[in-house]
């Protein structure tokens, strides 16, 4: 609930609140070879549609559970059970395939391969999060790799690039690690940046 001006507020309070939280998700990341392959296919679109807000290639990921804004002190609670989960599982065999869009604004590449295994992993990840007492919006998993976002005055770029990706079939690859990721989304005018808070190799290797 919004407080009235001057009632219980302090200068810089919003900044301290943001510093005390981090936006968190749990994800898989394609290996460099798979990202390079898709980057080559997208290269003409980078030149043709420079006004699109292209995600950095090093930030490409497949979200398994989006947890939203969490208190910084809560994040370490997720580490041990996620590490145990990763140690108990083998790598997931996946591939990048095709493309599409959400609401004509968000461009993505599709995911192929062991989708049953991917869904089972996402279910187990979300169970761990719930058992840690972390509230989040448990939406159905729609496996994808977000590539770019269109600006509000651009109604065609995403549709055109998605159509160009329709025939793309990437090489199979193994998702070897589970990543706990933090982002600065919504914290400024610049592009989104992601960083690994922690990551664990599947099978404990």
Q: What SS3 state is found at 196?
A: strand
Which residues are part of the catalytic machinery?
Answer: 61, 144
22, 1, 7, 20: which is closest to 184 by C-alpha? Answer: 22
Using CA atoms, how far residue 194 sits from 22, 29, 82, in Å, is 11, 12, 19
DSSP string covering 53-117: EEPPGGG--EEEEEEEEEETTTGGGGHHHHHHHHHTSPPEEEEEEEEEEETTTEEEEEEEE-HHH
DSSP-derived letter for residue 202 is G
Name residues whose C-beta falls within 8 Å of residue 9's C-beta, 6 or more positions apart in sequence: 3
The number of residues in the chain equals 205
Residue 94 burial (C-beta neighbours within 10 Å; 0-12, 13-18, 19+): buried
């Amino acid at each position: 609930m919004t407080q009235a001006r001057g009632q219980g507020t302090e200068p810089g309070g919003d900044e301290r609140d943001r510093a005390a939280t981090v936006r968190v998700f749990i994800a898989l990341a394609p290996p460099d070879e798979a990202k390079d392959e898709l980057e080559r296919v997208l290269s003409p679109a980078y030149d043709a549609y420079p006004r699109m807000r292209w995600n950095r290639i090093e930030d490409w990921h497949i979200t398994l559970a989006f947890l939203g804004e969490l208190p910084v002190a809560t994040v370490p609670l997720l580490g041990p059970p996620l590490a145990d989960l990763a140690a108990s599982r083998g790598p997931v065999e996946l591939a990048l395939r095709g493309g599409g869009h959400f609401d004509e604004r968000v461009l993505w590449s599709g995911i192929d391969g062991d989708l049953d295994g991917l869904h089972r992993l996402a279910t187990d990840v979300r169970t761990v999060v719930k058992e840690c007492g972390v509230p989040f919006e448990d939406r159905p998993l729609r496996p994808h790799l977000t590539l770019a976002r269109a600006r509000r005055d651009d109604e065609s770029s995403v549709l055109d690039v998605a159509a160009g990706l329709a025939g793309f079939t990437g090489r199979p690859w193994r998702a070897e690690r589970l990543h706990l990721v933090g982002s600065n989304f919504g914290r400024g005018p610049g592009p989104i940046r992601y960083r690994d808070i922690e990551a664990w190799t599947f099978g404990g290797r």
